[in-house]
Chains A and B, each alone.
Chain A
Amino acid sequence: MMAALFALVPLLVADEAPIHLLLRKIILAFNDVVFFYVIFVDSVYLVFTLMALAEVRTYLRSRDKERLEQIFRSRLVPPISILCPAYNEGATIVESVRSLLRLKYSKHEVVVINDGSKDQTLQYLIEAFGMERLEFTFENSVKSKSVRGLYASPRYPKLIVVDKENGGKADALNAGINASRYPLFCTVDADALLEEDALLHVVKPMLDRTKFVPVTGGIIRAANGCRVIKGRVEAVGLPRRPIEIFQIVEYMRAFLCGRTAQSALNVMLIVSGAFGLFHKATAKIVGGYSTDTVGEDKELVVKIVRYLKEQKREYEVLFVPQTVCWTEVPATWQTLGRQRNRWHRGMFEVLLKHKDLFFNRTYGRVGWFGMPYFLFIEAIGPIVELSGYIILPLAALLGLLAPLNAFLYTMCAVVFGIILSVSSVLLEEASFHRYPRWKELLTLNLYAVLENFGYRQLTLWWRLRGTIDWIRGQKQWGAQQRQGFGSQAKAA
């Protein structure tokens, strides 16, 4: 392909035939489209960042942590079932469950769903918590594969383990919904650690809004580099590997800026699978998690929103920036690539499955802004931006654009990107201030700059591959590697 392009060079430069002039015009026009598209996307993100700044500031002013703890000791707050699906999570499962059992809340249960793990996940749980097999029945209100056994522990009455045949994460969560007892359920990944007051914050919007709040989500932060002791993040720190630091900056931008703004606009359609709180009755009405997609977390939110819009019910899907869920982010390029590929495939699957929401009056701003945002900015972004990286040098090579101009165009887009990344660090510093050391602050700023030279392009490539795999109909999750929180404790 590249050879063919190079072969075209003399023709395009030398020949003045109308067809060649047309080709040149097309290339230049495409260049313009890509440039303005990138500027437009970055401008949207900048507006999101400014909105997030205002939102977080309001949020921080109104919070009163100590009172919240006292208030949530009350029996009047609805109890919560925490669903923790686990597939081959032997490395982290015990620590994760410990952290979940320790959460501050008046009444909660932890339902771990062992999704037919091939490793020692179930065995570790049985040994660590003294689980005993039970004869128990529960209603199968949402579809899931058959349950092999149910385990409870006399020492940990809040803990239930469901052992079932392998059916994927969505299927495991459905089994968890069936086994859970309480009116709200919170999904937590087995490799994630919730902060002790996470439930207090994430449930609050469900109780203090006059509108119905069926779903809330909290911020996901990278636990890599933090000191984790007995399932608790004792000291926040930065990891050593650049790949992990890049993701920390990326998560700040995506969650702190993106989700906060989407929540303010009430167009939030994604609540991270790693941590989200749901109104169980509503989730059951829409049939629970769909097992035919790798983006089951996004899909459930879209289904709920869709259902409520069709019922003409007033609702809000909210993001709570204070609520922290720590998770182990991929530490190898290969795993990260697979993760991004899967996320992108999931997004396309959801967009296609709910295509009738687009520009449909019934769905209000979700149809006019929420869904188009995901399609035109998140989903097709990689295609447009990466093609820009090819077309711009090509135009310079063909003499259609002065090399200096091409360089300046690229730099404008890159510096805008850097401003966005640095803004997310600013938001973090102005709000939650999780990285207290000067060295960490400087490192985050440095990586906010560096991520625009290579890392950003790489993630675009993985997302493009995700698009191609989605077109090919690939449905696999891809293997994941866990280091376990113990190794982080040692590293720190």
Chain B
Amino acid sequence: MSLELVTLELVLSSLGIALASLVLFIMTMRMYREWRAAVHVHVRESMTGVLGKILDTERAFSIQDRSVLIDGEQIYTVPKPGGPVGDAVREFLVDHLSFISGDLRGRLVTILESAGYVAASMRQLRSRLGETRLKACMMLGGMHSRIAIPALIEIFNDDPDGKVRITAAEALGVVGAEPAVAHLLKALRDPTRFQQVRVAEVLARMGMMAVPALTAAVDDDDVRMSALALDILADIGWMSDFDPAVRALTHASPEVRARAAEALGRAGALEATEAVMKAAADPAWFVRVRVMKALEALGAPRERSQRARYLGTLEQGLHDGVWWVRQHAAEALVKVGEDGRRLLARAMIEAPDSPARRASVSALQLHLIASAAKSRKTAIAR
């Protein structure tokens, strides 16, 4: 054997010491964790009672330095930012900010601003560590402070780290700053889907404020941008100016055409029904699928000739070469009501191609099962 007894003893004792240190470290870590948790619990308990008074709109609220005054009487001294206590206070207030709005939100934001929490996070925006800057952006978004808007815009424009820039744009959107829309649209061009989804979610949350810019973005040269803009518009549920989306139904990119059909369906753009029906002849199968879904969402028009064309389009969909299109056409027909189901029953018996018959059978079957379940439920309720 190549190792001497002394060496072996030395190796073994070193390993033993390493093991003991490891176990000790785990125990210390657990104790520190428990201490932090206790601090959090204490802060939350002490602040819960105070919060009720702060959010009582019938009582006058003011803040001097870090002292919160209700009806002129000091009820709480906000701890300094930083450290376990400061972190716990900030977390507590930020948690509640996401559930309230208007004047009540204003009171909590004022506390965060006056006690120096917003300023502390803004200072962190100058950190050399990307991770710290990213966290600061998140915090500033959570604190809903408009004071931070210029600093966040600066970060969005100049920060070398892409993730930080996106988080800054996101924070701007959460704060609800109108200038954020343009920045968020820029951020929507990020190459990763996750960042796009993040930004899209913020834009959707901004609602009508973002609609004009998004409608303009539908005509963007970047195909991804058009598609995303259509999706976000549908999420917002925009109510007017459907023209860009109707134009997008004939876009060169099938992806955009598909999104346009889906967006019009989800937005319930009844005036676009005719254009959507025309798109049922699209060469791309996945566009046709979305068209069938959109037609289902839009529902059958009341006007007789338009209704006949609508039913004809769906009936044509039953004979499509792709089963997924057939299935959606059949499901849309079920939703039409008696007319649609009659067409399906006819196709089930008379259709020359078996795929159309099968699609009709499965759609009707699903409808019957659903109806039976509904009547059972009604009977039980009675």
Contact = CB atoms under 8 A, between A and B. Distances in A.
A409 to B, nearest CB: 7
A139 B323 contact: yes
A26 interface: no
B147 interface: no
Interface string A417-448: 01100110110011001000010010001000
Given A405-B8, A426-B22, A208 B192 contact: yes
B201 interface: yes
A123 interface: no
| Size bracket of the A interface | 35 or more
B30 A210 contact: no
A62 B163 CA distance: 10
B19 A433 contact: no
A76 B323 contact: no
B193 A76 contact: yes
A70 B319 CA distance: 40
B362 A208 contact: no
B373 A408 contact: no
A74 B200 contact: yes
Interface string B1-27: 111010011011001101100110111
Interface stretch (A130-138, A294-302, A480-488): A130-138
B33 A71 contact: no
Nearest to A438: B30
A61 interface: yes
Q: Which of A73, A137, A204 has the most CB of B within 10 A?
A: A137
B197 A74 contact: yes
Contacts of A245: none
A77 B228 CA distance: 12
B19 to A, nearest CB: 5
A277 to B, nearest CB: 14
A155 interface: yes
B197 A134 contact: no
Chain B interface mostly: helix
Interface residues of B, number: 52
Contact of B1 (A28, A135, A429): A28
Interface in B174-213: 191-198, 200-201, 204
A418 B234 CA distance: 57
Contact of B26 (A74, A134, A418, A422): A422
B369 A154 contact: yes
B60 to A, nearest CB: 33
A206 B135 CA distance: 23
Nearest to B196: A76
Contacts of B27: 441
B26 A64 contact: no
Given A152-B369, A208-B195, A430-B29, A64 B138 contact: yes
B12 A411 contact: yes
Interface of A: 28, 31-32, 35, 61-62, 64, 67, 70-77, 130, 132, 134-139, 152, 154-155, 181, 204, 206-210, 401-402, 404-405, 408-409, 411-412, 415-416, 418-419, 422-423, 425-426, 429-430, 433, 438, 441, 445
6 contacts: A71-B194, A73-B201, A408-B9, A408-B12, A415-B16, A422-B23
Interface of B: 1-3, 5, 8-9, 11-12, 15-16, 18-19, 22-23, 25-27, 29-30, 33, 131, 134-135, 138, 191-198, 200-201, 204, 228, 231, 234-235, 323-324, 355, 358, 361-362, 365-366, 369-370, 372-374
